[in-house]
Amino acid sequence: MDSYAWIQLADGAWATAWISLISIGLGISIGLGIAIVRMMKLPFIDKVLAVYVSWARATPLVTLALFIFLTFPSFGIQLDKNLSAILTLTLNTAAFNAEIWRNAFLNFSKGQLEAAEALGMRRVTYFRRIMFPQMFLVSLPALINEMSFLIKGSPAIAVIGVVDLTRVTNRIAAVTYEPLPPILCATVVYMLIIGLLVKLQSYAEQKTQYLKA
């Protein structure tokens, strides 16, 4: 591969990284919000959110990307391909993260809340200082695992024209008629990213087990 191909690969890797990072950050935050609202057990809203979570988790990323990219313009809402990609990945990962957070809520010790109320602590303060830090540590391995799945699924955004690592790889292979070098480079990049997340997940699991002991 020539120097221009390496520059293209670097640009594609950067696009994959920043789109995935934004989507991960939004997905974790939105997922937490969905879990909090669902724990309030508001009948209509809970059903709507349950339908969204089931739909987003069941829909393949390629289908979701095409749905968002092609449907919004029909309602006069113009989204560029990068924004459509972020929305696609965010909607997907937020649904999975919502279930991770909700499981943390359901398994959290109610005795701590009773003790906090007995001390006159407000629920907002209790959640911020006591409940959320523990929930975050317990949920961290699962959250990191979801990050890995999202990055492995991110090549789906190439279907709507986003120039990510996968799309760049295909372009270089089509021009040079040598698919192996760019594919190997892309594989190495994905392996490095996922490998780092696996290490972080293992470390988080060790810390979680230490806290439980």
Please tell me the predicted confidence (pLDDT) of residue 169.
Answer: 93
Domains of the chain: which residue ranges? 3-212
Instruction: Kindly state the DSSP code that residue 73 receives in the 8-state scheme.
Output: G
Q: Where are the alpha helices (DSSP H) in 40-179?
A: 43-58, 61-71, 81-106, 110-118, 123-126, 132-153, 165-176
Contact 166, 186 (CB under 8 A): yes
d(CA 109, CA 87): 34
Homologous superfamily (CATH) of 3-212 is: MetI-like (1.10.3720.10)
Task: Enumerate residue ranges in the chain where pLDDT < 50.
Answer: none
d(CA 91, CA 85): 10
Task: State which H helix or E strand residue 204 sits in.
Answer: helix 180-212
d(CA 202, CA 22): 23
Please tell me the predicted confidence (pLDDT) of residue 211.
Answer: 56
Alpha carbon separation from 59 to 84, 87, 91 (Å, rounded): 16, 14, 10
Please tell me the predicted confidence (pLDDT) of residue 116.
Answer: 80
Contact 27, 88 (CB under 8 A): no
Please tell me the predicted confidence (pLDDT) of residue 213.
Answer: 53
Q: Identity (one letter) of the amino acid at 159?
A: V
Nearest to 134 by CA among 154, 111, 164: 111
Predicted confidence (pLDDT) per residue in 73-122, tens digit: 888 888 899 999 999 999 999 999 999 999 999 888 878 877 887 888 88
Q: Which residues 6+ apart lie within 8 Å of 149 measured at CB?
A: 96
**Count of CA atoms in the C-beta half-sphere (13 A) of 49:** 24
Helix 3-39 to helix 43-58 angle (10° resolution) is 150
CA quadruple 56, 59, 60, 63: dihedral sign? negative
Q: What angle do CA 182, 186, 188 make, to 5 degrees?
A: 115
Q: What is the pTM of this model?
A: 0.90
Please tell me the predicted confidence (pLDDT) of residue 52.
Answer: 97
